[in-house]
Amino acid sequence: MVRRRAAVAAPCGRRPVIRKRVATAMLAVLAALVAVGCARDVATYRPVVLETRPHDPEAFTQGLVWHDGRFFESSGRYGRSDLREVDSLTGEAVRSRPLAADEFAEGLALVEDRLVQLTYREGVAHVYDRDTFEPIGRFRYDGEGWGLCYDGADLWMSDGSATLTRRDPATFEIRGRLAVTRDGRPVTRLNELACVGDEIYANVWMTTDIVRIPTRHGRVDAVIDASALVPDDPRVRADPDAVLNGVAYDPDEDRFFLTGKLWDVLYVVRFERAP
């Protein structure tokens, strides 16, 4: 009996691998069907604004964390970087701790009663007591630091590439890496992160897109278009650095907080499936 070789299903974004020769036209049709099927897996959402709150227009927001009615924020730029606790209603800093002038603050995560704050190119993650802002340690790492979030078991870190690094929250040692793709293509410039269950919400730097990433496989399954939230402020519109870059989640109310670098507003939102 002659065994026929069966066609092998291709993962999203790749051309199907078929071991027996087939016509070029058939390959094109199969590839198109795969692309359509993958595209349907990515849902589009939009933020529905529940309320707006003031935000410090001088804050170069790099990381935003919500915990028990309190905001913790990491604000960047050399010579101006700090860690701050922010009044959730007024946007004013309740307290702050500056970084060294040669450090650029980046992503921020809360691990139980400790705040972990990345730096951009300095390879240092500072660890502070949540309630006093007193330094209690530091971690070293290679490469750039962009975004950081904690899922209750692991820290997830971005570095501007299409790969998220999973780290031990006690030692900062690497536990694994997750390649992030959309329709089979790498999603680069992943920046600020918010961990929500087994998913990560990441804003894509220099865009108004937030992507939802299931940590079990890394394939983007939803995109939130936040373009309508960009403030109609000439100062923001004219500054290419004044981009969306603050994403925090409130599990008690199932809502998100969104803001940007140098924005004077913070939005309280829920994500709704776009029609």
Average pLDDT of 164-186? 98
Give the pTM: 0.85
Integer angstrom CA distances of residue 38 from 42, 74, 269, 272? 7, 36, 28, 21
CA atoms within 13 A on the CB side of 62: 30
End-to-end CA distance of the chain: 54
Domains along the chain?
A: 1-40 (no CATH), 43-273 (2.120.10.30)
Per-residue pLDDT reduced to its tens digit, 115-138: 999 999 999 999 999 999 999 999
Per-residue pLDDT reduced to its tens digit, 39-94: 458 999 999 999 999 999 999 999 999 999 999 999 999 999 999 999 999 999 99
Q: Buried b vs exposed e over 108-129: b needs ≥16 C-beta within 10 Å?
A: bbbbeebbbbbbbebebbbebe
